[in-house]
Amino acid sequence: SQQGEEDPQALSIQEGENATMNCSYKTSINNLQWYRQNSGRGLVHLILIRSNEREKHSGRLRVTLDTSKKSSSLLITASRAADTASYFCATRTNTNAGKSTFGDGTTLTVKP
C-alpha cells in the first residue's frame, strides 16, 4: 500500500499565486522527499527534509514536516506557468535499504 498520500489530487491557480500541497504518511520515516514530474517525463528531485527538521527552503519552495501528525506540506510561492506539473512526496525509512515509497501525487496547473 502507498505510504504517502497527497492532497489535493489536483490544484489549479493563477500565475503569481502560491500553491500548497500536502502529504500524509503512515509509518515513522528517516526523511521525506518531494519530486516534480512534468508531463511525459521522469521525476526530478526537488527537496529532502529529514525527520529531525521542521522546515526547509529552496528558492521558491518551502517544505514543512510535522512528524507528530505524519504530514508534510510543499509550498510554491509566486507560481509560474512553468511550475505546471505533478508533485509527489516520497518517504524513506532507516530499514528499507534506501527504497522510496511514493504517494499518488498532486497535479498542479498554473494558468498564465
Partner 1 sequence: NAGVTQTPKFQVLKTGQSMTLQCAQDMNHEYMSWYRQDPGMGLRLIHYSVGAGITDQGEVPNGYNVSRSTTEDFPLRLLSAAPSQTSVYFCASSSGTGPQETQYFGPGTRLLVL
- Residues in touch with partner 1 (CB under 8 A): 2, 4, 30-31, 33, 40-45, 48, 50, 88, 90, 92-94, 96-105
Of the pair 11, 88, the CB lying nearest partner 1 is at: 88
Of the pair 10, 78, the CB lying nearest partner 1 is at: 10
How many whole angstroms separate alpha carbon 72 and alpha carbon 52? 13
Task: Name, in order, each residue with C-beta under 8 angstroms of 107's C-beta and a sequence gap of 6 or more.
Answer: 9, 10, 11, 85, 86
Of the pair 52, 68, the CB lying nearest partner 1 is at: 52
Shortest Cβ distance from residue 78 to partner 1 (Å)?
A: 25
The DSSP letter of residue 101 is E
Shortest Cβ distance from residue 45 to partner 1 (Å)?
A: 5
Cell digits for 26? 503512515
Kindly report the number of other CB atoms within 10 A of residue 13's CB atom.
Answer: 17
